[in-house]
Amino acid sequence: MSLFALAGCASQRIAKDMPVSPGALEQARVQLHNEIGLLRAVYEQAQRMATQRYCSTAHPHEPFILMTTGHVDPQQLSDELRAAYAKLGVDHKARVVWVDPTAEPKLKVGDVVVAINGRAIEPDEPYSAMVALRKARHGLQPGQPFQVTLDDGQAVELLGKPACEAGVYSTYFDPNPHQLGFDLSPGIKLPTNLLKQAQTANDLRWLAAYGLYITSSPEAESRRTKARLAAVPGLAGHVALAIIPGGSWLSGRYVSKSILYFGLDGVYPTAAEFATRELHALGEDPSQGIEMFARAQAQKMPVGDIVMSDAELSSIRGLAAALKQGNAPPPSYEQPAVASR
């Protein structure tokens, strides 16, 4: 059953007879297609990376995708567009919008999930479902199932598949669509302005591989370790601020240094290279994925710290051409020993 076949899941917060224009319905359809498509691509790519040992630790990943509009600020989602989403099966509840067809048939599209492994999901709270799922992934051992509680009280158990850290997402309801969001723990929010440029499934696969490299690669993991070490004196600076003059400067210096170590200028070009090589390895053409950056720049849509320079775009385009011709140079990013055998 497809998500768009759900006509009876309209949100209780939107009048069932509220008129929705064809334009609003198509806008909602495109946005859902891209958001769900990106999450599906992340799910598949994270498993592939785990199989190839591209990350040091693999966690079970839930074989389904949840989505809600309950937490979205009204300024980011008009009543008409919210109604359009509801007509397509996404409302203020945490609903299943996709299920891995190879998983046990215990969930179906449209089911409302209220808890994961005993952790309640509050659909009106931003990222409640995402946090619950991430904590469940990290808390499970191989072979342990996800315990999913539905709104009718039914509890089901589903086994997840081993995957690299898969905290990669993007949303059309981001008040800062140009920003890349991250913290010192694995997980990344790709800029909405990039997601808006996705035109094909290959574009979404390229974005998924790009984000997963930043969260799961040996290089990114190493930089996060350095960031944590650099942040320790920063915390001391915060304490010193209340005790000695100059504490604020010390804190700011080391916090900035920790961000620098995370590698805003170092990880992103190699992430683009990794995504390009991965699309080629999947038998797909990575060229279109690369052009998302060029299209965003041409439309003067900023994408935060990861806008590619003309030289970087040219380099990645050259790599895509070389891969197609079969004479690409060896990867310049850090490779796991198992994958390079």
Strand partners, 161: 61
Domains, the chain, in order of start with CATH, read: 3-166 (2.30.42.10), 201-341 (no CATH)
Of the CA atoms within 13 Å of residue 121, those in its CB half-sphere come to 31
Give Cβ neighbours of residue 141 (< 8 Å, ≥ 6 apart): none
Q: Which of 220, 238, 248, 225 is nearest to 334 (CA)?
A: 220
Between 108 and 267, name the one with better pLDDT: 108
Candidate ranges 142-146, 223-227, 262-266, 277-281; pick with highest mean pLDDT? 277-281
Q: Given a cut of 80, is residue 270 above it in pLDDT?
A: yes
Instruction: Check residue 184 and give its pLDDT.
Output: 46
Q: Given a cut of 70, is residue 329 above it in pLDDT?
A: yes
Q: Which amino acid is at 181?
A: G
Strand partners, 21: none
Give Cβ neighbours of residue 136 (< 8 Å, ≥ 6 apart): 62, 116, 117, 119, 146
Rounded to the nearest integer, the mean pLDDT of the chain is 82
pLDDT tens profile 104-159: 889 999 999 999 999 999 877 777 888 889 889 988 888 899 999 999 999 999 99
Give Cβ neighbours of residue 340 (< 8 Å, ≥ 6 apart): none
Instruction: Check residue 261 and give its pLDDT.
Output: 47
CA 163 to chain centre: 14
Measured torsion, CA atoms of residues 180, 181, 187, 190, in degrees rounded to the nearest 10: -30
pLDDT tens profile 73-114: 878 888 999 999 999 999 999 999 999 999 988 999 999 999
What single DSSP character describes residue 283?
Answer: T
Over range 156-184, report the average pLDDT. 87
**Rg value, the chain, Cα:** 21
pLDDT tens profile 188-202: 889 999 999 999 999
Measured torsion, CA atoms of residues 209, 214, 215, 221, in degrees rounded to the nearest 10: 130
Q: Given a cut of 50, is residue 4 above it in pLDDT?
A: no
Q: Given a cut of 90, is residue 52 above it in pLDDT?
A: no
